[in-house]
Structure 1
Amino acid sequence: MSINCKYPEWLTEYTFDNCKLNRKEYGEFLTNYIKGEHDGFVLNLNGAWGTGKTEFLRRLYTHLTNEGHPTIYIDAWESDFSEIPLSVVASELINQLSIINHNIGSDLDKLTGFLGKALKGTVIAGTGLVTKYLVDDSATGREIMKTLFEASAKDFLTSIKKDHEEQVEAIKSIRKELGLLAEVLKQTHGKELPVIVLIDELDRCRPNYAIEMLEVIKHFFTTKNFVFVVATDTTQLQESIKSVYGSNFDSNTYLKRFFNREARLAESDLEHYLKLQEIDLTPYSDRVVIYPKITNNTKDNIHQYIIWVAKAYELSLRDVDQLIDKLKACLRGALYAEQSSNKVQVVNIFSLLVGIVEFDLKSTSFDERKNGKPCIDNRLYKHNILLDSHDENVFSELYELNMYNSVQHNIEYPDTWGDAQKHLVYGTHSKAHGKDYSHCNGIIKKVALEIDSNFSNFNHKTGNVKIWLWPDYQKVIKLAGNLD
């Protein structure tokens, strides 16, 4: 059976069953929670930028729609150009309810009339558009404002006072009509209550517009059997409010005026997410060697390194998506280099991933790292991210090991006569960086042995093999860095 809604394609594209972030359980929990609110409820769904709020809201839309709840989705960012948030919420509410229930038209008439009264004269420039949209008479608003400004000062104030009183009454009537409409939706059209309105991308809007949108929700639409879920990066929204009211303004307390409760978006399951990402390694085969390996499955290796890098640099989901896209571009660059030179490209996957992140973060290490200078004093990442159950196996050790092995070193070895001999090496042996990993257990020792093994295997094949060093990483990363 087909379901009438504004976004029917979402019903198959965005479901909790195909959620890459494994948020089905949380989505169902939140659904059951908001379904139990019937007395005018506004929930702040708080999630930092890049945590997947939009994806989550669209899946919530599908879930609620399938359960029979009239569900409205509003992208606040799309309407940011408007000067009148009330017109945006009102028009979307009317339009989407009309789509959900094609025969509900007459039941919306009174509500539409009261909304038109509330909107009358709100903004001079937008009045014609608003009244055209809601009451199909663009001339009305313009004539009202023309009459007001042609009046005497006394008459002008009287008209303003009258309009204010009308708007206050209109707000009361809107709330009453919304409550009655909800009952009609249930009794006549067989819908479940409450009506759910999902507001997305509010934190991306202009500060004034975001504040006005919250005011509109609070004063006009918080009524019986209506629930609003407003997705925000609350920290960012607080900063927007401070930009309007001043840096010392208590934006946290201010926001609590508008929200009954706050729900934090559950932490993403990065491992589950990466398992569903497509990184096709088929074209590379033996033409691009990706090391160091920690398992026999190259794709699993890449996923594990991405997880470590994402945790260490505290990357958002959007950051991870960009990292994967740029990684793919870099590997294609390696494949092109193999085709051009007919030399197998040997690429350190950890160094490549870290290089992409360092370039995006404008780390000085990215540009300063060169032969004989591995730049291991990076402070942009969390040093103590554990790689396995052994305390010594932390991210900073993995970083140091691989960065040393991304540059060349001149090392002195004594010959059989005791004289020092200089050798140019690729930084693969413990002597190259003054550390012996033979006493270690777990990941670090495995990576060190894997690096040594790779370089031992390829050093005698220099004519047919190109072992990437830092200038190679820099070149391809800078090219991929143009992708956003």
Structure 2
Amino acid sequence: MSNIHEVPSDITFDKFPVIDRRSYSEHLTNFLNSKSKEGYVLNLNAEWGAGKTTFLQCWYNELKKDHPVVYFDAWKSDFTHDAMLAITESFHSQLMSPLKENEEFCSQAISKGVHLLKVALPSLFVGYLKHKTGTDSDESLLGDISIELNIDIENDELGDALKETMKAMLSQKKKANGIHTFRKALEELAESYLATFKNMHAPIYVLVDELDRCRPTYAIEVIECIKHFFNTKNFVFILATDTQQLQHSIKAVYGQGFDSSSYLSRFFNNSVTLEAPNIYEFIQIKLPELSSSNPTENIALLFIQELFQWHNIDSLRDIDKIFDCVEIARSKNKCFKIFPLILLAILKIKFPNYYANYSSIGGVFYNTSTTGSRRQNKDLDLVPGKIYSKFQITNQSNIFTDYLLQLVLNFIDNELQHGFLQRINSKLDAISLSTHFPQFISVALINKELELAKKKDYLSVLNFAGHFQ
């Protein structure tokens, strides 16, 4: 059986030294190992862009050295419309399939899982269950009442209301029995796995990812299935979510007045937060070629951070969209300068009118001079009321950021010549700027061994770059 939840073995903490989270994972592991005896469900809360998936996959590859681990990508199984079946399949492919010595047990556990699908799903999905099986309207249930509930009564002695009550009682009893049976199967699975692989230790970790990307009803179904049916001894579940986004999903199902926070708290034993990297760290992750001890490259990283801050972009989600253009440029057979590539992506996504103007005829976009004085044409003011600041390129030279941004755009067309820089009307050290600026902008290059890209090449890359959602 193919495993759609497979985690690449080369995703390790060593690959992400900028935001080293190995120590945090070790802290969580030690804590959760102590909580495994009766089972535990932990909510790992992190906003979009904090690196939930990367953290879980790195942690998975650490955990599997000593523990059985299941990785469940909820979003990849969303299409199944059946959380119980999807979770059971992930257990089969990652835990039961390796038990070659115990094929009979595997078959028995799967059989119990299928039975559970019919009689023990959460009450939220009773309507779905009735549609699939007709269980709630099956009159044969009444024939089992005497046996199941120890009530000696003839069917024709029951009124309609009492029939419905009896059927509900029987259905509830079967649900409770189904939950008990399935949890017992999980306990046997854990014991069998640990007995077969003696180098493995309890608990069994189950890492659940991408819940906040799922359809609201499916996300709820996954959470309820885990809490009601899979939460048993020797199993630890970690559900990585953007909790605020998940709460919105729950309200989409139950209504805006629903207390989604209290609802979620019922399903988790505890909640911890995975802090997002700051913008500088995030840029380092996205541009590893600039993450070095070279002072010039450190200034390049700071300048990219300045690009985002000047344009009032502080969301990691938005910044990640902008970095799409960098990934596209990597696949092209041209050398691209990273500064203008990112700046053009910002213009296209945040200021499409200005980007369209630049694409067709070029033009000035930034509304200050080298001295910070406001230009007369207010239509060219990208960020009205912006407080302008200077950026220091070298120890000798700094320049107003927005003017520097204009120089970056001009460099795409190779328009800057030494004489142009000499004519800058400011108190700056123009000679120093003319010496260092071309070197500075050429520090951050993609495919540096290839032919230098022209304006049309940059526009070609941007035509494939993503948009904000």
Question: Is the CA contact 1:330–1:480 (under 8 Å) kept in the aligned structure 2?
Answer: no
Does 2:273 match 1:276? Answer: no
Which structure has more relative contact order (CA 8 Å, sep 6+)? It is: 2
150, 169, 177: which one aligns with 1:169 = 177
Aligned letter for 2:29? T
CA drift at 1:42: 1.3
Question: Is the CA contact 2:216–2:253 (under 8 Å) kept in the aligned structure 1?
Answer: yes
CA drift at 1:322: 1.3
Does 2:458 match 1:476? Answer: yes
Aligned to 2:16: 19
Change (3 A) 1:276 1:113: same
Question: Is the CA contact 1:429–1:452 (under 8 Å) kept in the aligned structure 2?
Answer: no
CA drift at 1:46: 2.1
Aligned to 2:149: none
Change (3 A) 1:176 1:99: closer
Question: Is the CA contact 2:39–2:231 (under 8 Å) kept in the aligned structure 1?
Answer: yes
Question: Is the CA contact 1:41–1:260 (under 8 Å) kept in the aligned structure 2?
Answer: yes
Aligned letter for 1:89? I
Change (3 A) 1:98 1:381: farther
Aligned letter for 1:257? R
Segment drifting more, 149-158 vs 363-372: 149-158
Aligned to 2:348: 359
CA distance in 2, matches of 1:215, 1:380: 49
CA distance in 1, matches of 2:225, 2:251: 19
CA distance in 1, matches of 2:8, 2:453: 49
CA drift at 1:165: 1.8
Using the size of structure 1 for normalisation, the TM-score is 0.66
CA distance in 2, matches of 1:259, 1:382: 45
Aligned to 2:262: 253
1:28-427 paired onto structure 2 within 5 Å: 28-38=26-36, 39-67=38-66, 69-108=67-106, 111-120=109-118, 147=138, 154=160, 158-187=166-195, 189-190=197-198, 191-268=200-277, 269-270=281-282, 272-274=284-286, 276-277=288-289, 302-309=300-307, 313-314=313-314, 315-316=316-317, 318-319=320-321, 321-328=323-330, 332=334, 350-367=339-356, 371=363, 374-375=366-367, 377-379=381-383, 397-403=400-406, 406=409
Change (3 A) 1:452 1:81: closer
Question: Is the CA contact 1:179–1:225 (under 8 Å) kept in the aligned structure 2?
Answer: yes
Stretches of structure 2 lacking an aligned partner (at least 5 in a row): 143-154, 369-380, 412-418, 442-451
Question: Is the CA contact 2:83–2:221 (under 8 Å) kept in the aligned structure 1?
Answer: yes
CA drift at 1:43: 1.5
CA distance in 1, matches of 2:108, 2:383: 62
Count of residues in Structure 1 that have an aligned counterpart in Structure 2: 400
Question: Is the CA contact 1:43–1:262 (under 8 Å) kept in the aligned structure 2?
Answer: yes
CA drift at 1:375: 4.2
Aligned letter for 1:58? Q
CA drift at 1:360: 2.1
Question: Is the CA contact 1:71–1:197 (under 8 Å) kept in the aligned structure 2?
Answer: yes
Aligned letter for 1:270? F
Change (3 A) 1:387 1:184: farther
Instruction: Provide the secondary structure at the position in 1 that maps to 2:404.
Output: helix
Change (3 A) 1:436 1:250: farther
CA distance in 2, matches of 1:273, 1:102: 41
Aligned letter for 1:276? P
CA distance in 2, matches of 1:6, 1:267: 29
Change (3 A) 1:8 1:77: closer
Instruction: Provide the secondary structure at the position in 1 that maps to 2:228.
Output: helix
| 1:388-436 residue CA offsets vs partner (Å, 9 max, x unmatched) | 799xx99x9423432367479xxxxxxxxxxxxxxxx9687542xxx54
Using the size of structure 2 for normalisation, the TM-score is 0.67
CA drift at 1:204: 0.8
Identical amino acids, percent of aligned pairs:
26
Aligned letter for 1:66? K
CA drift at 1:54: 1.9
Aligned letter for 2:214? C
Instruction: Provide the secondary structure at the position in 2 that maps to 1:230.
Output: strand
